[in-house]
């Protein structure tokens, strides 16, 4: 069985939109495209290299596929990420059966992307690594398909933009298995699934009259 691994750059308030440049994804009037570059440092680069060192296929939403296909094949053979992404297989989630994925080693997840991902996950092969793909990620989280998350959190509050999580995410416990901070203040966390969400209580065994009144007044 293959794992689905999320790799995501996010701001402190969870925004993922347009980390790479001003023209990457200005949809919705997003003004801060390219917020990763000023804070990128060698420690972050090493963590990304380690993530990409494991065998994987790419699992991408269609918009992120378009962004990657317009950039990485043209980076040249001397660019390690470009040559890696060019070589490995890319699976693309799209609702458009007429979409042409003409970047080499690309396949469409049709007719149902979630069902296609389930089938991929149940089969043999390397892990399936996501990059970007905010809309597609929400479907993966909603259908409880994510096994690991590599979260690169930047010390920024962007206020608006496409976010990693939505309210439809399936509740699940995650365990932090590795973490570090970079010189520029980026926190790197590697999380794995850890069963169901558990709850507890700091309340008194016997609630006070004030607490009972508060509960009665809840909307």
Q: How confident is the model at residue 157 (pLDDT cuts 50, 70, 90)?
A: very high
User: For tokens 């933009």, what's the residue?
Assistant: 161
Number of domains in the chain: 1
Q: What is the pLDDT of residue 124?
A: 96
Mean pLDDT of 109-133: 97
Q: What is the pLDDT of residue 210?
A: 97
Q: What is the pLDDT of residue 219?
A: 72
What's the chain's average pLDDT? 96
- Rounded to 5°, angle at Cα 2 from 119 and 194: 110
Residue 113 reports pLDDT greater than 90: yes
Is residue 60 classed as helix, strand or coil in its secondary structure? strand
Q: How far apart are CA 188 and CA 177, in angstroms?
A: 11
Mean pLDDT of 170-186: 98
Q: What is the pLDDT of residue 5?
A: 98
Q: How far apart are CA 155 and CA 44, in angstroms?
A: 13
Count of alpha carbons within 13 angstroms of residue 191, beta-carbon side: 18
Mean pLDDT of 39-54: 97
Contact 119, 148 (CB under 8 A): no
Q: How far apart are CA 81 and CA 85, in angstroms?
A: 6
- Taking the mean position of all CA atoms in its chain, how far away is CA 30? 19
Contact 85, 58 (CB under 8 A): yes
Contact 59, 4 (CB under 8 A): yes
Mean pLDDT of 154-175: 96
Q: Looking at residue 72, what DSSP letter applies?
A: G
Q: How confident is the model at residue 201 (pLDDT cuts 50, 70, 90)?
A: very high
Q: How far apart are CA 17 and CA 133, in angstroms?
A: 9
Domain that holds residue 49: 4-216
Which CATH number characterizes residue 88's domain?
3.40.430.10
Instruction: Summarize pLDDT for 130-155 with one digit per residue, the tens.
Output: 999 999 999 999 999 999 999 999 99
pLDDT cut 70: percent of the chain above it: 100
Strands 187-193 and 148-154: antiparallel
Instruction: Summarize pLDDT for 67-83 with one digit per residue, the tens.
Output: 999 999 999 889 999 99
What letters, b where the CB count within 10 A reaches 16 and e where it falls short, cover 163-173? bbeeeebeeee
Q: What is the pLDDT of residue 52?
A: 97
Q: How confident is the model at residue 217 (pLDDT cuts 50, 70, 90)?
A: very high
The residue among 51, 50, 11, 13 whose CA lies nearest residue 34 is 11
């Amino acid at each position: 069985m293959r794992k689905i691994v999320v790799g995501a750059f996010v701001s402190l308030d969870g925004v993922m939109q347009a980390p790479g440049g001003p023209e990457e994804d200005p949809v919705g009037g997003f003004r801060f495209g390219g917020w990763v570059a000023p804070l990128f440092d060698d420690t972050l680069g090493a963590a990304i290299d380690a993530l990409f060192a494991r065998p994987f296929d790419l699992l991408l939403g269609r918009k992120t596929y378009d962004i990657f296909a317009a950039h990485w094949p043209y980076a040249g053979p001397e660019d390690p990420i470009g040559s890696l992404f060019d070589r490995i297989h890319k699976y693309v989630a799209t609702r458009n059966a007429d979409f042409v994925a003409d970047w080499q080693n690309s396949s469409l997840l049709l007719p149902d992307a979630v069902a296609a991902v389930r089938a991929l996950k149940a089969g043999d092969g390397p892990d399936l690594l996501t990059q970007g793909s905010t809309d597609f990620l929400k479907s993966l989280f909603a259908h409880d398909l994510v096994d690991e998350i590599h979260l690169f959190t930047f010390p920024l509050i962007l206020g608006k933009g496409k976010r990693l999580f939505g309210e439809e995410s399936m509740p699940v416990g995650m365990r932090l298995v590795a973490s570090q901070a970079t010189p520029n203040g980026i926190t790197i966390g590697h999380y794995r699934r850890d069963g169901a969400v558990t709850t507890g209580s700091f309340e008194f065994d016997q609630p006070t009259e004030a607490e009972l009144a508060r509960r009665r007044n809840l909307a």
